[in-house]
Amino acid sequence: MSDCLFCKMVAGVIKPDVVYEDDAVLAFRDINPQAPSHVLVVPKRHISTINDLTGADAELVGRLYLAAKKVAGQDGIAAEGYRTVMNCNAAAGQTVFHLHLHVLGGRNMHWPPG
Ligand code: 5GP
Ligand code: ZN
């Protein structure tokens, strides 16, 4: 078993609060939510960062966004608005090195981000 936290969730060894799942992605609530609705959408296949993506992953990246749209609809934040964020490497704040898309909503977001 990989030492990766999100791979363990995909494998079912650690059980997060799952809100959506299909053959390619898993979506679950962030343990330390930064907004009333804060979901992480991860590919089931391990990819560490955006820098590791290849052309072969183009459909998978699209699937992450389609899952984000679905989750936003389920949480009732689609119409008012929500933010998607994918941090890449330490300076951007990435702490878990398994690709993940943050879906944040339920409050007004600010710009520029911190
Ligand atoms: P990053 O900082 O890498 O962009 O985001 C990692 C996210 O994973 C953080 O928002 C953090 O709260 C979340 N996280 C870390 N450990 C766990 C965990 O064990 N369970 C869940 N559900 N989220 C986690
Ligand atoms: Zn992983």
pTM (predicted TM-score): 0.98
Tens digit of pLDDT for each residue in 5-64?
999 999 999 999 999 999 999 999 999 999 999 999 999 999 999 999 999 999 999 999
% of the chain with per-residue pLDDT over 90: 97
State the Cα–Cα distance between residues 61 and 107, nearest whole angstrom.
Answer: 26
- Is 33 close to ligand 1, i.e. is its CB under 6 Å away? no
Q: Is the pLDDT reported for residue 1 higher than 70?
A: no
Average pLDDT over residues 85-109: 98
Per-residue pLDDT at 111 exceeds 90 = yes
Please give the backbone phi and psi of residue 25, each rounded to the nearest 5 degrees, phi first.
-135, 160
**pLDDT exceeds cutoff 90 at 79:** yes
Edge-to-edge strands of the sheet including 18-21?
18-21, 25-29, 37-43, 101-105, 82-85
Query: So what's the pLDDT on residue 114?
Result: 81
Q: Tally the residues of the chain.
A: 114
Mutate to test the pocket of ligand 1, among 34, 39, 96 (most ligand atoms within 8 A of CB): 96
Q: What is the mean pLDDT of residues 70-88?
A: 98
Name the amino acid, one letter, at 19. Answer: V
Residue 43, token pair as written in the block:
């590919």
Q: How far apart are CA 111 and CA 102, in angstroms?
A: 16
